[in-house]
Amino acid sequence: MIMRVTLAVLLFTAVQNNPDEIATPQPDPGVGVCAPFGCDVRIQQVFDNTNFPARMRIEGIDLFNNQPNSAEGFIEPAHYSVYLSTTQVSSASATADFDANVGPDALKVAAFTIADFNTFFTGAYRIPFAHWFNYIPRSHGNLLLEIRKDKTGDFGDGPIYVDGSTHAVGVTQITDEQGVQRGVGFTTGFVGRALGPFKHAQLIPFFERSAVAMN
What is the mean pLDDT, run by run of 10 residues, along the chain of 215 residues? 33 59 94 96 97 94 90 94 97 98 97 96 96 90 98 92 96 97 98 73 37 40
Q: Which amino acid is at 6?
A: T
Looking at residue 197, its pLDDT comes to 62
Other beta carbons within 10 angstroms of residue 77's beta carbon come to 18
pTM of the model: 0.85
Looking at residue 72, its pLDDT comes to 86
Looking at residue 215, its pLDDT comes to 36
Looking at residue 68, its pLDDT comes to 81
Non-local (6+) Cβ contacts of 56 within 8 A are 20, 22, 134, 135, 137, 190, 192, 193, 194, 195
**Residue 7 CB burial class (10 angstroms; 0-12, 13-18, ≥19):** exposed
The parent domain of residue 135 ranges over 2-212
**Residue 45 belongs to what H/E stretch?**
strand 42-47
When divided into structural domains, the chain yields a total of 1
Looking at residue 67, its pLDDT comes to 86
Looking at residue 157, its pLDDT comes to 86
Please give the DSSP secondary-structure letter assigned to residue 53.
S
Give the bridge partners for 164, in sequence order: 186
- Please state whether the peptide bond connecting residue 29 to the residue before it is cis, i.e. omega within 30 degrees of 0: no
3-state secondary structure (DSSP) of residue 163: strand
